[in-house]
Amino acid sequence: MTLSRRKTLTLIGGGVILAATAGLGAIASRAPRTALLPWGQAGSGADARHRALSHALLAPNPHNRQPWLVDLREEGVVTLFVDTAKLLPHTDPFSRQITIGLGCFLELMRMAASQDGQRVTITPFPEGFDDRALDGRPVARAVFTADASVTPDPLFAHALERRSNKEPYDTARPLPADTLKKLDVATSVRFGGTLDPAEVAGWRALTREALRIEIETPHTYKESVDLFRIGWAEVDANPDGIDFTGPMFEVMAATGLFTRESAIDTGSQAYRAGLDAVYANADTAMGHVWLVTRTNSRADQIATGADWLRVNLAATAGGVAFQPLSQALQEYPEMAALYRDLHARLAPAGGTVQMFARIGFGPEVNPSPRWPLEAKIVHG
Ligand SMILES: Cc1cc2nc3c(=O)[nH]c(=O)nc-3n(C[C@H](O)[C@H](O)[C@H](O)COP(=O)(O)O)c2cc1C
């Protein structure tokens, strides 16, 4: 679930906030202390694994939970685990999306390492897996080997500029006709997309309805609200989850206009503003892209993550804004009808739609917060 920051502000009452902002200058001008530092530290470290991992932790991942943990005790090897305290049991009951995020992490690690003259050989789930739940077994074993012949990936050049852009897109600027061709950089998973206005209108309506269901379903909405970090002090303390930052959010937090309690209260202005803000995102899609796998094993999900990262980087390269809209892909009962509808359209012969996103031209947005690498090494 994501709220467009600007739209929320407008809807909650920009005038009141602006007046308050003027009087609460010190609060309004709060800035991040630590939450964005990892973006500047990417590529640093004495060991090739640290250098690659400092990039990997900038990977896209559901609700920015950053569920990765690494064990570095074995020389030249990264053993990746999932932090089972950071799953999303309501919206991602089988941890399919969490696994995709771990696939994004591994691909970014691989790309960063190849830039650094290291070949990385990845074995997903070396001790096996459970289809329905992630557990304490390793998600992957990655062996680093110095190899001067390794080919760097040109997409890696865009890694630090990549963002999930959760603002409304410009409906007056259609995407160039060759956009989908440029975004089709998937290596093993089936890529699809549309820029056709009639189809886009259909997907706008479906994604809007899926957002409505997720927000109006108390247990799935609460899972998101519990992860709201409002203002830089909260974000610095917990640089993950769904962040709301900037002068107006600082003031709204300080004045009690926007809190987790008001966001969950369906009678509040904050709740209605949030709903309208997410609709504004769905409604301004200028195209859609998706990835489909034939089967839905854990290995398929890891492969989806790798290809999703690549598509995301290709969009960044082309200046195309990108936001996953995962709601209709989620496997909880209240979403079942839309899940079936979407699959009937995109995978009529069977298969799993693993990712779905809107694309368009959007405003520039900040990078999202991250925990530093030290917080993610379980054994150094
Ligand atoms: C599997 C997966 C599902 C996601 N689903 C959504 C979504 O439904 N809505 C959304 O706004 N962002 C979604 N995202 C994007 C994440 O919220 C985003 O990657 C995370 O907040 C970190 O921000 P960044 O990508 O700008 O670094 C998804 C990402 C992944 C990997």
User: In the prediction, which pLDDT does 62 show?
Assistant: 98
d(CA 102, CA 80): 9
Kindly report the length of the chain: 380
Is the distance from CB of 300 to CB of 103 less than 8 angstroms? Answer: no
Query: Does 330 sit in the ligand 1 pocket, CB within 6 Å?
Result: no
Residue 11 has what pLDDT? 52
When pLDDT is averaged across residues 314-339 and rounded to a whole number, the result is 98
Is 189 in contact with 107 (CB distance < 8 Å)?
A: no
Tell whether ligand 1 has an atom less than 6 A from the beta carbon of residue 62: yes
Residue type, 321: A
pLDDT given for residue 370 in this prediction: 98
pLDDT in tens, 157-215: 999 999 999 999 999 999 999 999 999 999 999 999 999 999 999 999 999 999 999 99
The reply to whether ligand 1 has any atom less than 6 angstroms from the CB of 64 is yes
Average of pLDDT values for 229-249?
Answer: 95
Ligand 1 in reach of 61 Cβ (< 6 A): yes
Is the Cβ atom of 2 under 6 angstroms away from ligand 1?
yes
Pocket-testing residue among 63, 212, 327, ligand 1, by greatest number of atoms within 8 A of Cβ: 63
Residue 96 φ/ψ, nearest 5 degrees: -65, -45
Residue nearest to atom 12 of ligand 1 (CA): 324
User: How high is the pLDDT of residue 2?
Assistant: 47
Q: What is the pLDDT of residues 295-317, one digit of tens each?
A: 999 999 999 999 999 999 999 99
The CA distance from 355 to 365, in Å, is 22
Return the pLDDT at 19. 58
Residue 333 tokens read as 């009962």
The C-alpha atoms of residue 273 and residue 270 are separated, in whole angstroms, by 5
- Spell out the residues 6+ positions from residue 107 whose beta carbon is closer than 8 angstroms to its own: 59, 305, 306, 309, 310
Question: Which two tokens mark 287?
Answer: 């195209």
The pLDDT tens digits of the residues spanning 244-293 come to 999 888 988 888 889 999 999 999 988 998 899 999 999 999 999 999 99
The protein residue whose alpha carbon is closest to atom 3 in ligand 1 is 62
- Pick the residue whose CA is nearest to atom 20 on ligand 1: 64
212 φ, ψ to 5°? -60, -45
Chain centroid to CA 258: 23
Above pLDDT 70, what percent of the chain?
A: 94
Residue 164 Cα to ligand 1 midpoint, Å, equals: 6
The closest-lying atom of ligand 1 relative to the alpha carbon of residue 326 is: 8
60 touches 101 (CB < 8 A):
yes
Handedness of CA 292, 298, 300, 304 (dihedral sign): positive
* E strands, 127-211, in order: 140-146, 190-194
Q: What is the pLDDT of residues 334-378, one digit of tens each?
A: 999 999 999 999 999 999 999 999 999 999 999 999 999 999 999
